[in-house]
Structure 1
Amino acid sequence: MNLSKQETSFHRRLLHARLFPALLTAVLIPLAAASAQLPRGETADEIVTLPRDQWQASGVRIESVQRQPFTKTLQLTGKISLNQDRVAHIYSMVEGTVDDVSISLGQTVKTDDLLAIIHSREVGAAKLQLYQARLKLELANTQNELQSKIAKNTSELLQALSSNMDITEIEKQFRDRPMGGYRERAISSYAAYLKSAADVLRLEAVSQSGAVSGKTLLAATSTRNADQATFQSRIEQIQHELQTSTLMTSQAVREAEATALVAATSLRILNVDAKEINEIDPAKQGETLSHYAIRAPFDGTVLSKDVVLREQVRPDVMLLSIADLSTVWVTANIYEEHLPLLDSFKDQTVTLRNDALPNQTFTAKVFYTGEIMDEATRTISMRAIADNTDHHLKPGMFVTIELPTSQQQAAILIPSSAVQEHEGKKFVFVLQGEDQFLRRDVQVGPANDKSVVIRQGLRDGERIITGGGFILKSQLLAELMGEE
């Protein structure tokens, strides 16, 4: 059905009358009457009067203008990626043949779990070399210990001989103590000296009676002196030999230790487990001595697996990759217009959302804001780390990042409900006196979901309407409604 312009206008007025009876009778009519009495310098289009007894029914709220910090949430599109600090690309450090594969793709592994076993001739040879080095070290230690005992016992024997201890007592004390060939050499020399010394004493006793010629006594004395010198020389020679022998055996121990250490280090460089190195035994292990175990470096999930049984492997071919998914990185690009805020993002906690998980929110901490701008996209990369214990965040997933931003200086901040708009102009109602409200145009700045910054048009301490402003706006638009 086609309606004339007059009929359409009539229906519109009828509709307004039905929807806003309280407005027309209780508010607009008194406002129209009160608008005739205006302060000097103001027009009816600028000031509206609303009696105080009607404020509550109209939902009018009054607040004072104050300067406050302004915070706005910046939304960016980000992407979930692997935590690159917790990703391991695993290679075999030796050539060989795959003897066993203990894991499958997607499996969760723990630190030191066995992943695969490689049959390696290089590892087998290195273990045998270490085993032989340890045998030599054991022999060198045994020889050194024996030489130390011999040196100790011989030194004590030489001290006893030098103190002229009785030969019978010496034999008794040192009978069962090992000394090698040093015992015979020292005691025989000592015995010869004792005999020649006894001969001199015997001849001296009878030389006074003339029974023994002076020549015989002189010969005996010379023999005694020679035997004494021989004994002293023998002691010094034995002491020197003891020092030399002890030094050589201790040096042999150090050389054997160095050889064993080098062999063990070679296996450690190949990342052979310490327990395997300590338990090398060719007789018990047989062919398994050549087994090279590849183990998990940390808790994680197997992301790729390129190893099968009996396959030949080399150090330059990746076998597995493992990632710890308990944490993930969130990457986003910061546009050039947001560069002034870049420094404030560092160490910030941000909120993450994903459309596939509408009832869940996640948090991440920013740890990196790049220093180089991408010339193609005119953006700077930002990274944050998020906890992912439940593995809900999947690498490759897109998320919405909510970054709180704030101005360095406080600004005039009012509720968004206080701002009215008509014909492209934004304005607020400022309380004048008891019940009059001045329409004042304002220049607005950035806004968030609750508040808006006023760049121009308001001063600190002014009282404005923050609720029920549509009542006053309706009065200003009364003439327009009448025209319709």
Structure 2
Amino acid sequence: MKLKFVYPLVGVVVIGVVATLSLWRTSQRPADPPTASEPSEQGTREIVTLSPEQLGRGNVKTSVASETIFQPTRTVPGRLTYDQDRHVAVKAAFNGVVTEFRVRPGDFVATGQTLAVLSSSDVGAARAKVKRREADLQLAQRQAEWRTNIKDGVLLLVQLIREEKEPRDIDAALQYHAVGDYRERLVSAYTRVRLANVMADNIQEAAASGAVSGKVRQERESERQAAQAALQSAIEQSLFDVEQLSKKATAVAEDAQRQLEVTRQDLKLLLGPSSRTIDEGVAEASPEASLSQVEIVAPINGAMEERSLAVMERVSAGDAIAVIADTSRLWAVADVREQDWATIDVDVGAKVVVTTPALPDERYAAEVLVVGRSVDAATGAAALVARLESADHRLRPGLFIRMTIPAGPSRAAVTVPESSVVVHDGQSFVFVPVGTTKFRRVDVRRGGEEGGRLEILEGLAKGTPVVSEGAFFLKSALLMVGGDE
């Protein structure tokens, strides 16, 4: 009796388990699975049918394959570097000691702003020499000026003598003119001539009346001629002397000026381009203690990227003190491999696009500056340098970049959004809507990519509607249906 009761009970339990498993398996299948028809050569189906719910869940959207002017491009890797025209390593041009730093790394500086102060005995000696040359020049210039004034005074005196002015009139005219010892020489000779003339004229009247002999008259005439000759000789010699002395003094002054310029140039070369100008440096360095002080200034606008020395540290000629750079403009240096040179079509002035993983949503326009002509033996690549602007300073030297370079002339081409094209087993294809819930796979041959759009070389005509969003969802549904069958 007990066995007859147990067997029916076991049967009921088994039937319940089987029913439960069947219900669970049914719940795991999609309520409305996509269907496919028309077998393709790839072993899957070519048409996917979705329910309205699946259509919304896949976020399927369509657009139209359009004919656009397509620019073939090539994307190559590279790095950002400093613009060499806006990146300066400030170096010491002389031996010295750093006594002060006035800016810190990261600070923005303007052209001519003081970065650091150095003390150098070589600079002190050079500046002292400049000051001596300046003093020599001042003395020589004063001497030349004096000689010029003497010459002008002698010329005026000679003119007055030749006009036979009275001595008192001559003294009055020369009151504010320098004549030097030529005054005594020429005025004395002129006075003797005037006296000889008076005596000769008087003796002429006496000789005519017979009061004196002819011999006396001849003596007085001879004395007048001798006095006139002496005056003429004094005039000629004086004019020659003042002219020569004036020229000599002027030559000495000019030589002193040249010596000063040479000394200043020597000091300028010693200071280097990153120091204060010569005139400012010498004027500010009037106390002896400050002759050796040199202010190192920023040669460009930018930020202090590096500081290489500490205060009171000795520096030798050629040692780097700081690095100043303006990162609002950078260079993108791309490495173009040998296999890419045949495809790219770029020259100086061409426009390229630069992107970086550090700022994935940004695209930067750049202008080609240098097209490399030699290949690096280590990397097997030639450099392509482009200049780009970074006004917001978010780009940094050293960042990895990708540069998109023109790879041939632009042409009219059928293009679709990049998201429209999917790949399976090496074959690219798109989905074309057939009605509202059906989508047909269409194999295509893709070309290049530009601005998020792909060039379609074969398989699709312009104006054809294609799936622009949700193509991967359709691909998954297509493969799932094909796998189930």
Q: Please say if residues 421 and 428 of structure 2, whose CA atoms lie closer than 8 Å, have aligned partners that are also in contact.
A: yes
Q: Please say if residues 344 and 407 of structure 2, whose CA atoms lie closer than 8 Å, have aligned partners that are also in contact.
A: no
Partner of 1:249: 249
Q: Please say if residues 74 and 407 of structure 2, whose CA atoms lie closer than 8 Å, have aligned partners that are also in contact.
A: no
Matched, 1:349 2:352: yes
Which runs of at least 4 in structure 1 moved beyond 6 Å after TM superposition?
A: 59-63, 416-430, 439-442
- CA-CA distance at 1:364 after TM superposition: 3.0
Paired letter, 2:320 = M
- CA-CA distance at 1:235 after TM superposition: 0.9
Partner of 1:394: 396
1:373 to 360, 372, 375: 375
- CA-CA distance at 1:349 after TM superposition: 3.4
- Partner deviation per Cα, 1:220-258 (whole Å, 9 max, x = no partner): 111111111111111111111111111122112112211
Matched residue SS, 1:85: helix
Q: Matches of 1:191 and 1:406 in 2, distance apart?
A: 102
Partner of 2:336: 334
Partner of 1:93: 93
Partner of 2:6: none
Partner of 2:157: 157
Q: Matches of 1:340 and 1:128 in 2, distance apart?
A: 64
Matched, 1:136 2:136: yes
Matched residue SS, 2:342: helix
Partner of 1:413: 414
- Aligned ranges 1:66-105 → 2 under 5 Å: 69-72=69-72, 74-105=74-105
Paired letter, 1:253 = A
Q: Please say if residues 366 and 385 of structure 1, whose CA atoms lie closer than 8 Å, have aligned partners that are also in contact.
A: yes
Q: Matches of 2:61 and 2:285 in 1, distance apart?
A: 92
**For structure 1, which runs of at least 5 residues remain unmatched after alignment?**
32-47, 49-58, 431-438
- CA-CA distance at 1:184 after TM superposition: 0.9
- Aligned ranges 1:435-450 → 2 under 5 Å: 445-446=447-448, 449-450=452-453
Matched residue SS, 1:342: coil
Partner of 1:233: 233
Paired letter, 1:354 = P
- CA-CA distance at 1:82 after TM superposition: 2.2
Matched, 1:186 2:186: yes
- Normalised to the residue count of structure 1, the TM-score between the two structures is 0.73
| Count of residues in correspondence between the two structures | 426
- CA-CA distance at 1:170 after TM superposition: 2.3
Partner of 1:117: 117
The alpha-carbon distance between structure 1 residues 454 and 99, as it changes in their structure 2 partners (threshold 3 A), is: closer
Matched residue SS, 2:303: strand
Matched residue SS, 2:344: helix
Partner of 2:3: none
Identify which range, 294-303 or 374-383, moves more after superposition: 374-383
The alpha-carbon distance between structure 1 residues 221 and 281, as it changes in their structure 2 partners (threshold 3 A), is: farther
The alpha-carbon distance between structure 1 residues 153 and 281, as it changes in their structure 2 partners (threshold 3 A), is: farther
- CA-CA distance at 1:162 after TM superposition: 1.4
2:280 to 276, 280, 296: 276
Question: What is the percentage of aligned positions where both structures have the same residue?
Answer: 26
Partner of 2:307: 305
Q: Please say if residues 345 and 406 of structure 2, whose CA atoms lie closer than 8 Å, have aligned partners that are also in contact.
A: no
- CA-CA distance at 1:340 after TM superposition: 3.2
Partner of 1:452: 455
- CA-CA distance at 1:464 after TM superposition: 5.7
Partner of 1:170: 170
Q: Please say if residues 70 and 410 of structure 1, whose CA atoms lie closer than 8 Å, have aligned partners that are also in contact.
A: yes
- Normalised to the residue count of structure 2, the TM-score between the two structures is 0.73
Q: Please say if residues 342 and 369 of structure 1, whose CA atoms lie closer than 8 Å, have aligned partners that are also in contact.
A: no
Matched residue SS, 1:343: coil
- CA-CA distance at 1:319 after TM superposition: 2.6
Q: Please say if residues 69 and 406 of structure 1, whose CA atoms lie closer than 8 Å, have aligned partners that are also in contact.
A: no
- CA-CA distance at 1:326 after TM superposition: 2.1
Q: Please say if residues 445 and 453 of structure 1, whose CA atoms lie closer than 8 Å, have aligned partners that are also in contact.
A: yes
- CA-CA distance at 1:359 after TM superposition: 4.5
